Structure 1
Amino acid sequence: MFIAIPLETRPSWRSPPWVTLLLIAINCWVYIGWQMPEERAVGRMADAYVQSTLPALELPVYVKDVQARAGQSRRRRDRDRADLLAQALKAKAYSAIYQAMWHDNDFRSRLLADEVIRPGSPQYAAWRAERDRFTPREPDRFTERWSQDHDADAPFRPITWLTNTFLHGSLGHLVGNMVFLFLFGFTLEMALGRSLYLVCYLLGGIGASAFAAWMYAGMGGLGLGASGAVSALMGMYVVLYRLRRIPFFYMFFFYFNYARWPALIMLPVWMAFELIQHLLGGAQVAYMAHLGGLATGAVLMALVMQIRRVEAPTAAAPSPADAQQAERQGELKQLADKARALTRSLRFGDAAQVWQRAARLAPTDLTVLRAWFDSARHDPASDSFHAAARQIFKLSTRHAAHRQLQVESYRVYLDRAKPAIRISPATLQQLVRSFVLEGEFKDAEQLARALAASSTLPEGWVDTMDLLINALLKSGRAQDAQAWLPVLEQRAPHDALTRRLAAHTSA
């Protein structure tokens, strides 16, 4: 298995690829609206068929007919199919055989024309009566009517070269084709414009189907699916970009990676892959439709580019803000690499200075702040250690990760800081809130008492005390909460919190 997906451009939702989306919608509509109900109806009729007398009359004859045709064709897939049907007949899996027979247009047409069970047969009268009752109940053959028919005696119906590209054999078949239709289609729609892109898509599907009709003529089976048209888009895509090196995501069996290749190189690679798969005997996939689509798409784009100028879309240039962000990220990575190298050399002081520079670029990056703090704590009297602690303590308390780092760092800072901690009342208040929200009430109260002793209280102090006291009450620490009443009566005697706590204490 080989898959290569281009990554050169992204769809613009300011000018959506409406034709590509419309094609996807039509394919989904046909499958969900017609093909799925048809398959369900066939399943229901298979159950009814098993309950009738027809299996004993028709299925042994059908299996023998398939075996005879397999012997004449000498193709391995036909022999395998005949063997599977014989095993199913032996196991009395009549429902599965009926569904196979329902899709076998050649046998079914001969059966209904009395060419299998003939009028002179002793079983004919009973079979004909049962068949006449059963046939009108069978669903219309929508999928087979609009698919390509590769039987030797199939009528020439070129309309199916187009209609089969909107049919699919399963939901997985549909989803896979639609993903690749979008991946290649939106870029080509940007390059060609909606009308020309639609014409090229339809012509690509017709070309793929015509090539498949030639290669599979007389081999039997049905051809359906958008993969031929999608392959045409792939051929158009690589001719559009020619030798420009564009990024691809590729997968080869279980190995996958990114690479930047000249686009046109992918055309012979894809074509060779389809040809090899065909020669290896892949019977369930129309590899020749894919090959025909690739060739048709390449020729179409080459002709279009001879007639008019077509600009291949390129990745949008980054905005000034994006470019600035990318530059900042690059500088941040360089500083982080340098600081880690200094740390490995045990040069903690120098590493702390580099981490401090990194923190100016990313002041809320927890990885940077933690690394700065850890490096600086080896010199607990340094300005860098105190600055790292303050930077951590200033983080927003809305995020649990911030609060956890603040709690951990404060305990280290309290233990190691020299000659003493350097924390402003505003920072103390921030820490009180973090400790309360983390449920660390003992430390929160110690910090709150240090804050209350400040000569000037920071803005929002009463709100912080409200948070602390409510948390204590909710956790069943009413006595601890009431112990704050004297402080509130001294520092905020007229506040609603003071009156509320006083009322709670007296109650």
Structure 2
Amino acid sequence: MVIIPTEKRFEWEHAPIVLFVIVLLNILIFALYQSNDDAKFERALVSYEQLQYLDYEWPIFETYLSEQSDGSDSQQLQDYRELYQQQHTAELGYYVLSDAGFYHYLKANRQTLPVPEDFGYWENRAEIHDQVQSVSYLAFGLKPNDLNPITLLTHQFLHGDTMHLMGNLFFLVICGFAVEAAIGHWRFLLFYLISGAAGGLLYMALNLNSPTTLVGASGAISGVMAMYLGVFRLKKIEFFYWFFIFVGYFRAPALFILPFYIGKELYSYMTDLDSNVAFMAHTGGFIAGGLLIMLALVINSRILDEEYIEEDQQIDPRQQDLAQIYLYIEKYRFDSALKAIDKVVEKYGPCFDFSLLRYNLLKLQKGDGYSDAVQALLREDRLRPQQLKTVDEIWHDNPELQSQLDDEALLKLGWKLTALPDISTADQIFALLNSRETRGRPLGHLARKLARLHGDLGNNLKKKRYASIADQLQQS
């Protein structure tokens, strides 16, 4: 379930300068610095495996882990033994190389360890270690068993993958601009970093023996979300929610939602044990963000831009109408939702999103109006790539209605769908038009387009066939 505060709309009058800088830094660090991480680690792991150092180091690694857990067999050690017995050497090698403490253990006990068969072992091992430690999340990520003020800050600007980055930045932008406008640029930056550090500290406290390094701005962003609620305190503000098929808006006192945020993270932490999400980092960020706003208000009750907070912003009437439609759907009042969609279309004109909403509602019963809803979507113009994919799916989901489109509508649809990476639907539409003995230059232009696309894909037979048809149609 997702609940996001959406009380304020972006305004250039209150330009979030710090927010822009944070977003840009995260993107640049991920694109320019972290992009080479996999290649670095892969090279180190390949060298480690080729030199067969795991055979020499495994007994020492067992002893090291046993000493770390006061001589007892920890769950971690048992898991690693299982990997070794099953010959999962690559995975085990990853854990061995990722543990910087083990390399320092090797160096500290060099005089008492068995002599390696490879005379160049120590030089090679140092080179492998340096290469591994240059990987971003090991160099600047937050290690649970290594409290470092630098990584408490730097881990907030690193991300695991593109989706991790984009998800974090989405929530940061949605909530951050209003918080920065309300508390000021420098205070926003300070509170952002403190929230991220607090999330990291709580994660460390509860995962002291974990080998997993923490990266991500989630703790800081959770703090920003809590600050948003703290800024508006008990004022009723607008929230957007998404729960399975239920989507809409509601209004509630801002701080009433904070316990829900914290409770959701605690519940996930206790029940979703196999997740790689740092729920307690989120929890630490939420708690820190809320406390920071409360403390700031106690010290100086006038730190907030009350004029900005109290300013009533005009709500987009279109958004209100859409919220009403979703409210009908939530209550299973589908007929009322359909009537509301018709009124909205009459008020604002045709729109792909409203047409798709009508289609999905009518699809449940496939009654009167379903055929018209399908045709309306297939006739939509100026579609974005994701909308084109949706139209393509609707075409294939309704084969019995394909023949109801006239030649002109089919031709336009075929042209639109040539923009997709998979042009098989455009092929199918061309075949349907050809079977109707449709003739003329427009169909010839489509054939020429398909010939070029198949040539780009290396489908020379189809390229020649379409080119031949295009020539015939152009001549006719």
Aligned to 2:286: 294
1:25 counterpart letter in structure 2? L
Given that 1:8 and 1:314 are in contact with CA atoms closer than 8 Å, whether structure 2 keeps it comes out as no
- CA deviation map 1:287-341 (0-9, x unaligned): 332222112211222233424243327663269xx79x98xx99xxxxxxxxx99
Pair 1:238–1:15, CA change in 2 (3 A) = closer
Aligned to 1:49: 48
- Structure 1 unpaired stretches of 5+: 331-339, 342-354, 367-399, 403-434, 439-471, 476-507
Given that 2:236 and 2:252 are in contact with CA atoms closer than 8 Å, whether structure 1 keeps it comes out as yes
1:423-442 equivalences under 5 Å are none
Aligned to 2:81: 86
Count of aligned residue pairs for this structure pair: 336
Q: Which TM-score applies when normalising by structure 2?
A: 0.58
1:86-125 equivalences under 5 Å are 86-114=81-109, 119=112, 121=114, 124-125=115-116
Residue 316 (str. 1) matches residue 308 (str. 2): no
Given that 1:17 and 1:189 are in contact with CA atoms closer than 8 Å, whether structure 2 keeps it comes out as yes
What secondary structure, in the 3-state scheme, does the structure 1 residue paired with 2:149 have?
coil
Q: Residues of 2 paired with 1:10 and 1:251: CA distance?
A: 19
2:109 counterpart letter in structure 1? D
Q: Residues of 1 paired with 2:380 and 2:94: CA distance?
A: 60
2:190 counterpart letter in structure 1? V
Given that 2:15 and 2:181 are in contact with CA atoms closer than 8 Å, whether structure 1 keeps it comes out as no
- CA deviation map 1:438-487 (0-9, x unaligned): 9xxxxxxxxxxxxxxxxxxxxxxxxxxxxxxxxx9989xxxxxxxxxxxx
1:403-418 equivalences under 5 Å are none
Given that 2:142 and 2:215 are in contact with CA atoms closer than 8 Å, whether structure 1 keeps it comes out as yes
1:302 counterpart letter in structure 2? M
Of 143, 150, 153, 1:159 maps to 150
Q: Residues of 2 paired with 1:292 and 1:223: CA distance?
A: 13
Aligned to 2:144: 150
Pair 1:317–1:209, CA change in 2 (3 A) = same
TM superposition shift of 1:229: 0.9
Give the structure with higher Rg (CA): 1
1:257 counterpart letter in structure 2? V
Q: Residues of 2 paired with 1:169 and 1:363: CA distance?
A: 42
Aligned to 2:247: 257
Given that 1:5 and 1:249 are in contact with CA atoms closer than 8 Å, whether structure 2 keeps it comes out as yes
Pair 1:315–1:92, CA change in 2 (3 A) = farther
Give the stretch that moved more between structures: 87-96 or 238-247: 87-96
Q: Residues of 2 paired with 1:261 and 1:70: CA distance?
A: 49
Q: Residues of 2 paired with 1:313 and 1:162: CA distance?
A: 33
TM superposition shift of 1:60: 5.2
Residue 175 (str. 1) matches residue 137 (str. 2): no
Pair 1:313–1:68, CA change in 2 (3 A) = farther
% same residue:
25
1:53-452 equivalences under 5 Å are 53-59=52-58, 61-62=60-61, 65-66=64-65, 79=75, 81-114=76-109, 119=112, 121=114, 124-127=115-118, 129-137=120-128, 138-139=130-131, 140-141=133-134, 142-151=136-145, 154=146, 156-217=147-208, 221-251=212-242, 254=244, 256-258=246-248, 259-280=250-271, 282=273, 284-305=276-297, 306-311=301-306, 312=309, 316-317=313-314
Given that 2:56 and 2:116 are in contact with CA atoms closer than 8 Å, whether structure 1 keeps it comes out as no
Aligned to 2:26: 27
Aligned to 2:39: 40
Aligned to 1:3: 2
- CA deviation map 1:31-75 (0-9, x unaligned): 33333323320112212222113132124543575577579678x
Q: Residues of 2 paired with 1:236 and 1:255: CA distance?
A: 29
Q: CA RMSD in A?
A: 4.3
What secondary structure, in the 3-state scheme, does the structure 1 residue paired with 2:251 have?
strand
Pair 1:313–1:63, CA change in 2 (3 A) = farther
Q: Residues of 2 paired with 1:95 and 1:50: CA distance?
A: 8
Q: Residues of 1 paired with 2:51 and 2:112: CA distance?
A: 20
Given that 1:8 and 1:315 are in contact with CA atoms closer than 8 Å, whether structure 2 keeps it comes out as no
- Structure 2 unpaired stretches of 5+: 326-334, 337-341, 352-378, 382-405, 410-438, 443-476
Given that 1:59 and 1:97 are in contact with CA atoms closer than 8 Å, whether structure 2 keeps it comes out as no
Pair 1:51–1:363, CA change in 2 (3 A) = closer
1:37 counterpart letter in structure 2? N
Given that 2:96 and 2:102 are in contact with CA atoms closer than 8 Å, whether structure 1 keeps it comes out as yes
